[in-house]
Structure 1
Amino acid sequence: MKTSPEISIIVPVRDEAANLDALIQAVNSQLSDITKDYEIIFVDDGSRDETWSKLTGLSNANPRLCAISFNRSFGKESAMRAGLKFARGAAVIIMDGDLQHPPSLLPQMILSWRADRVMVVEAVKDSKRGSAFSFSGIFNRILSGLTGFDFSGSSDFKLLDRKVVDQINALPERLTFFRGIVSWLGYSSKAIKFTPAPRTRGRTRWSLLRLVGLAIDAVTGFSNSPLRIVTVASAALMAFAVILSIQTLANWLRGVALEGFTTVIIIVLLVGSVLAFGLGMIGEYLARIFDEIKARPPYIIGEKIGLSESQSG
């Protein structure tokens, strides 16, 4: 039986064949002077390029390399969850496979975990370099306001102590938001700032539509604040309607005629907008409940490399 390594590196990938050689070389180079006891687990989220065949070939020359392949794309959240299930390290690092999460940060994260005795080491995007005004920056600020946790500059690039990993794996829910769950657990953490490197090979799969979908999933899966916003908006609308009704009745008693239907149109549009928004939010939450009740697995594994059947998956 294999002994557990000190460090597990989890890399979710989709159509990243062009980046695999450079990524593995960079990770091995950065870790060679700090630890010899590590594993790299790639999770292929239904790639349509040569990612899986490339990983198969690279595993022959890299005994530390392990890999999981999904039958189809189940999403990055599911890929990270699968990696956490299989990782055996005393500390687990999750990073992207496009080299925008710099491997040069790995030694600093590991040393912080060893020296500072923290459970989570978070790589936080430097907002001074413009990320605060990107879609992810705006999303993080909105999510911070809705949940009460600080997601400023937050990313999935994190080191988690084994205790944190075991706690995440024990959660009963199927649909999770990784960044939110890590913050919600409340373990001691340390932040390290970094500037995302530009993508040099391949192209991102994160279209605006997919990013919006991720944002909706994250908010509805981690916070009930949108439902409370609907309640507050409805209360405010009712107060407005009462005031307007009193004003209208007073004008009628004084014999003041109301010209046109402007007021009626405004009220109808306002009420309709609030109702439509409220129904949409309720629908999103019902959809998540429906998905949880079905209890389907969050991913289906097609193939594995370097991982025994006894390891959890």
Structure 2
Amino acid sequence: MATWWKRPSWLVSMIGMLLVSMVVAGCGTGTTPASPAAATPSADGVWHVTVTTGMVGDIVKQVGGTHVEVTQLMGPGVDPHLYKASQGDIKRIDEADLVFYSGLHLEGKLVDIFEKIGRQKPVLSVTDSIPKELLHASPDGVTSYDPHVWFDVTLWMKATERVRDELIRIDPANQETYKQNTDTYLKELASLHEYAKAQIATIPKERRVLVTAHDAFGYFGKAYDIEVIGLQGISTASEYGLKDVQQLVDTLVLRQIKAVFIESSVPKRSIEAVVEGTKAKNHTITIGGELFSDAMGEPGTAEGNYIGMVRHNVDTIVKALK
């Protein structure tokens, strides 16, 4: 069996990370550098991009087209709030030409790694250009802002423009392609935004209440005029207890809400506990379906891209509440 010291690439990667860590410790700033790092494409002329979530990866694929090859760290059903980088992830980040992540502390446990690697290559949060006045403050104290901005399609359009601008910065020779790809995708997103507004508006106002396992749909609620109630806070790192379940049960019974929703990246036992609690109070409530919150669906499915994911969520919500 090969031992670890006989794997040069593995060892080089670890040594590189240790050296970067020592540099950061010496600087003591804890922030990414003011000047963006330079970048060059791989030998094949294609930009090898590592991303965190499927939503970010979808933007990069749409904007970059044939000029990028995307490696995604977090697959379907993965909770980015609790995600811990494996040695393989460190290698994928280290070998990438550039890295895109969502930001606003969605990938909480990866932030330190991104800050360190950002001194060697471009590492970009796609949400860092969204004006702060458009962001929602986090009520649970885990983060400064609610990171689930992709649920307001108009804000995700700004994230798309951020990816475009970065690709143009590092690869100006192909800027026309990036601009054209972005314009095409932005038109599709604008159509998606109008679709979501129109469909949610068909739900009678008194039934327009979205109850989920964690509070990921705040931006969705504001953008498309639907009240949102989550059992857990904005981050799944925040714990919920019996008191939280009981409070939600009381709310559902009092307001005679008929449906709640599970999420693909959050264990459904929390919502199942709520359903059982309402039964004990002689109130019948159903699970209206599965929503995609922090992760998209399986590759190759309708929900395996951002537009399909949002349409699925909208259609599932409307069907259950209307």
Return the TM-score normalized by structure 2. 0.28
Larger RCO (alpha carbons 8 Å, 6+ apart):
1
Return the TM-score normalized by structure 1. 0.29
